Amino acid sequence: MGVDIYLKSISDPFIKEYVKRPAPNAGRDPFAIYDDYRASGGYFRDGYNSGDVMSAMGLSWSDTVTPMLDAENRLPIERARELLAMIEARPLTRERLARHFQNMTDGIDQHPVTGHIMTALRQRATAGDGGAAIGPELPDFEALAAFVTKRREELLAILRKSIELNEPLMMEA
């Protein structure tokens, strides 16, 4: 589950050329296309997981961005400017990242997907099962912080490109 946003002027030619390549995923990770697609500068994906950059900034795709879309699920240029300003006003400070990290597993404002899953696994792991912990380890804070910070920069870049090209972003959830 997640959100995909893209610029058609970059996305359409990328997909057209990508499918022409012989056996594009032969011997490769089947998700490698997403890395190539993101590298095109015209695509961004944000999963509903611990790396959810919108959640890390105290925003959400459903509550913040979806109401900004037009009837064709596009983010108009004026709304892209508004979202860009909103994101720029929410830098990923260590405090904000620490809150996001904590909310993955507990707290009042749990991540909508990861928080509940992690909490349930932790409760099950400590439910008197003789110490047989089954819950997953929390990700390394520094690695998560670096990942989310990089993703924020990628999101800002595609928003800026949308504005520069005067092309609305398409959004699929």
111-166 pLDDT, tens digit each: 454 554 555 555 555 555 544 454 455 567 888 889 899 999 999 999 999 999 99
What mean pLDDT do residues 83-94 have?
96
Contact 64, 54 (CB under 8 A): yes
DSSP symbol at 171: E
Is pLDDT at 108 greater than 50 in this prediction? no
Encoded amino acid at 161, one letter: K
Taking the C-alpha atoms of residue 160 and residue 77, their distance in angstroms, rounded to an integer, is 10
Is pLDDT at 110 greater than 70 in this prediction? no
How big is the CA angle at 91 (ends 110 and 68), to the nearest 5 degrees? Answer: 70
Confirm whether pTM is higher than 0.75: yes
**Largest separation between any pair of C-alpha atoms in the chain:** 60
| Highest-pLDDT range among 37-41, 101-105, 138-142 | 37-41
C-alpha distances in Å from residue 60, one per residue of 11, 23, 33, 46, 157: 24, 37, 25, 11, 18
Is pLDDT at 33 greater than 80 in this prediction? no
Is pLDDT at 105 greater than 80 in this prediction? no
Contact 161, 8 (CB under 8 A): no
Q: Which residue has the higher pLDDT, 25 or 97?
A: 97
Q: Which residue's structure tokens are 């992690």?
A: 118
Sorting pLDDT into bands at 50, 70 and 90, what band is 56? Answer: very high
